[in-house]
Amino acid sequence: MGAQWKAKHREAAANAKGRIFGKLSKEISIAARSGIDPDTNARLRLVIEQAKKASMTRETLERAIKKGAGVGADAVNYTLVKYEGFAPHQVPVIVECLTDNVNRTVSQIRVLFRKGTLGAEGSVSWDFHHYGMIEATPDSADVDAEEAAIEAGAQEVEPAEEGAFLFLTEATDLDAVCKALPGQGFTVVSAKIGYVPKNPVTLDDAEQLAEVEDFLDAIDGNDDVLNVYVGLAG
């Protein structure tokens, strides 16, 4: 799932808290549309937990909730839009954006895709699984991730970074699996519905890989971009 790029991406993101907060704020605003009570809104609860771990201030967090809920002068109506295409060397890419101005965003995405190919809807998504994606850490060394996946109702599980595991679920089962994992000895770190490539491309040429990484970094650096899913092996 593009692990080589992800490692580089995460290192760069760690040095850009403002950008992280901006994206988390948008995710909170979108989640708050379904209710502002984290106890009854699982999606909002998980994003709030991520924001707290990133040291987002309470004031910023509350402002983001009010924006999404349409409360106060700062209320913003964000739209979730998806773009599909190819990075250099025919690496499939799905880009999810949260924007308050779709015309602005599509213009910027077209520019960013000049070194790749911006496709029509469905041009690459057929080559991705649409899954619930839950990152969770084991509470002890004794727990078995595969057994936990079966008991919690996940479809698959695979190792993630820093000792965590990625549990893959049907999109409709995301919340149920999130609630079940703590009972299996795992702490949920993040959860979202996203895309996993079916046939990731392998690039052995370092120069080609660098071109793809630069392309992805430029896209991820856009303020409206929320998630980038890449069909890149590694």
How many other C-beta atoms can be found within 10 angstroms of the C-beta atom of residue 26? 24
pTM of the model: 0.77
- Which one is predicted more confidently, 173 or 40? 173
CA distance 66 to 72: 7
How many other C-beta atoms can be found within 10 angstroms of the C-beta atom of residue 72? 9
pLDDT of the residue at 167: 96
User: Using one digit for the tens of pLDDT, what is the confidence trace for 178-199?
Assistant: 989 999 999 988 888 899 999 9
Q: Name, in order, each residue with C-beta under 8 angstroms of 148's C-beta and a sequence gap of 6 or more.
A: 154, 157, 167, 181, 184, 185, 186
158: tokens are: 């695979």
Residue where the block lists tokens 């998806």 = 82
pLDDT of the residue at 42: 75
- Which one is predicted more confidently, 37 or 93? 93
104: tokens are: 């602005």
Please say whether the beta carbons of 155 and 169 come within 8 A.
yes
- Tell me the pLDDT of the chain averaged across its residues: 87
User: Using one digit for the tens of pLDDT, what is the confidence trace for 4-48?
Assistant: 556 555 555 554 567 777 778 888 887 887 788 888 887 788 888
Name the helix (H) or strand (E) containing 119. strand 117-119
What are the structural domains, with CATH classification, of the chain?
3-69 (1.10.10.200), 79-126+198-230 (3.30.70.980), 128-195 (3.30.70.980)
92: tokens are: 């499939």
- pLDDT of 215 > 60? The answer is yes
User: Using one digit for the tens of pLDDT, what is the confidence trace for 125-167?
Assistant: 999 999 999 999 999 999 999 999 999 999 999 999 889 999 9
